[in-house]
Amino acid sequence: MATLPLWPPRGLLSAAQLLALLVVLSTLVQISWCNQGKVNFREKEKQVLDQILGPGRYDARIRPSGINGTADAPTIVSVNIFLRSISKIDDYKMEYSVQLTFREQWMDERLKFNDFQGKIKYLTLTDANRVWMPDLFFANEKEGHFHNIIMPNVYIRIFPYGSVLYSIRISLTLACPMNLKLYPLDRQTCSLRMASYGWTTDDLVFLWKDGDPVQVVKNLHLPRFTLEKFLTDYCNSKTNTGEYSCLKVDLLFKREFSYYLIQIYIPCCMLVIVSWVSFWLDQGAVPARVSLGVTTLLTMATQTSGINASLPPVSYTKAIDVWTGVCLTFVFGALLEFALVNYASRSDMHRENMKKQRRQCELEHAASLEAAADLLEDGATTFAMKPLVRHPGDALTLEKVRQCEIHMQPKRENCCRTWLSKFPTRSKRIDVISRITFPLVFALFNLVYWSTYLFREEAEEN
């Protein structure tokens, strides 16, 4: 049986066979090198981690050296914050809740490694206990928690030149002392303060990252506030144990006035105007006027207590207190006005009854005199008439009367008196005057109120 030769016959290979053989060998070498490089890359990461963080090689309890590797210089930690959301700002508790991504970056020369010509850009860790961490805490924190869904939202990156980047997502409830004198026309500044707990500035210094240390998510939405701007600053604190590094960012919030205009100011104005309807009702409609006055007064009092229930009990007077207090005074004044009208109406009725009785008595007296005269005429009785003789002193008296008449001037006609004379009773006059006085005074109050607080708000803003 003939066998096929495993190799071409002896002699030189043809050019086509040689070219095909070279292509196959090149392809096999490339595949082998790629597979070998991929495996080596992962193995090198493990080897580097074991090398720099292995037992007896790195101690996380010792802080890194300072600038240029000097042990006496403090460790510099750059801080960066990304505000993801601000869920609420509570006026009563004077606090606000925020969710943020917090980042720290520092240099630790003990973690330098070979990047194999750029093949390893950085190493990633999820356990913060394996490297040294700054002892930073939030000074004005009330509550806080980390996020562990689906995995713990934390990572550590170690770069070849020894830089360490720590990033974590956290939610915080922070204290925010507020000045509510201009409420609800106010602006509030809430701070986020971060400080060192144990290391003094001789060992650890926090600095804001150069460029843009604080970023805010686009389309940040708040229910009743608008984030106008934020400012970064330093707030180092000195105690008897030393000076401690501190960073702070001030968030300036402007309260949205449209909500309070619709929920508070317009309803209060409507209640005050409704209380003026009593001035147009008849004085005799006692049940209607009393019901209207008491109802508006109780509604205004309920509105005022509801507003105060959502605010802390502070010792100073707020802008909303001035508004509700004056509106309550106007409603109460309308109720007192009806009490005065009712009293004046009863007084007018009493005076009218007295006039009628007096007129009746005069008529009865005149009738009795006529009856007596008739009786005297019937008895043929004569009366002696006084002589019409002018005494000497009468001329002087008449002359004085003429002089007084000359010096006395007639009263000028007053338009207000003329207009009020159209209303004969005092109760009606009180109602008519109240119809004009109450709206004018309330309009004047609005002019003073808005000009005062709006100008004060602009002054505080500048």
Q: What is the mean pLDDT of residues 81-109?
A: 93
- Which are the contacts of 240, defined by CB distance < 8 A and separation ≥ 6? none
Say what percent of the chain tops pLDDT 70: 75
Tell me if 75-255 shares its fold with 257-351+423-461.
no
Say whether pLDDT at 34 is over 70.
Answer: no
Say whether pLDDT at 76 is over 90.
Answer: yes
The answer to whether residues 194 and 329 touch, using CB atoms and an 8 Å cutoff, is: no
Among candidate residues 228, 226, 245, 197, the one with its CA nearest the CA of residue 75: 245
- Give the phi and the psi of residue 217 in degrees, each rounded to 5: -60, 145
Among candidate residues 208, 196, 168, 195, the one with its CA nearest the CA of residue 84: 168
Distance from C-alpha of 311 to C-alpha of 314, rounded to nearest angstrom: 8
Distance from C-alpha of 78 to C-alpha of 105, rounded to nearest angstrom: 5
pLDDT digits (tens, 9 = 90+) for 362-399: 776 677 777 767 666 665 444 444 444 444 544 545 55
The answer to whether residues 396 and 402 touch, using CB atoms and an 8 Å cutoff, is: no
Which residues on neighbouring strands pair with residue 78, listed in sequence order? Answer: 105, 207
The domain locations on the chain are 75-255, 257-351+423-461
pLDDT digits (tens, 9 = 90+) for 156-208: 999 998 899 999 999 999 999 999 999 999 999 999 999 998 899 999 999 99
Number of residues written out for the chain: 462
Say what percent of the chain tops pLDDT 90: 44
Among candidate residues 218, 170, 225, the one with its CA nearest the CA of residue 192: 170
In order, the DSSP letters of 202-227 are: TTEEEEEPSS-SEEE-TT---SSEEE
Residues 149-152: contacts with CB within 8 Å, 24+ apart?
151/126, 152/126
Give me the CATH code for the 257-351+423-461 domain, please: 1.20.58.390
Say whether pLDDT at 142 is over 50.
Answer: yes
Name the CA dihedral angle for 210, 213, 218, 223, rounded to a multiple of 10 degrees: -160
Give pTM, 2 decimals: 0.72
Task: Map 1-25 to HEC letters.
Answer: CCCCCCCCCCCCCCHHHHHHHHHHH
pLDDT at 275: 92
Q: Which two tokens stand for residue 324?
A: 């509700």
pLDDT at 3: 47
In what helix (H) or strand (E) does residue 404 lie, and over which residues does it extend? helix 392-407
Confidence of residue 410 (pLDDT cuts 50, 70, 90): low
**What fold does the segment set 75-255 form as a domain?**
Acetylcholine Binding Protein; Chain: A, (2.70.170)
Confidence of residue 53 (pLDDT cuts 50, 70, 90): confident
SS3 of the chain: helix, strand, coil, percent, to 5: 45, 20, 30
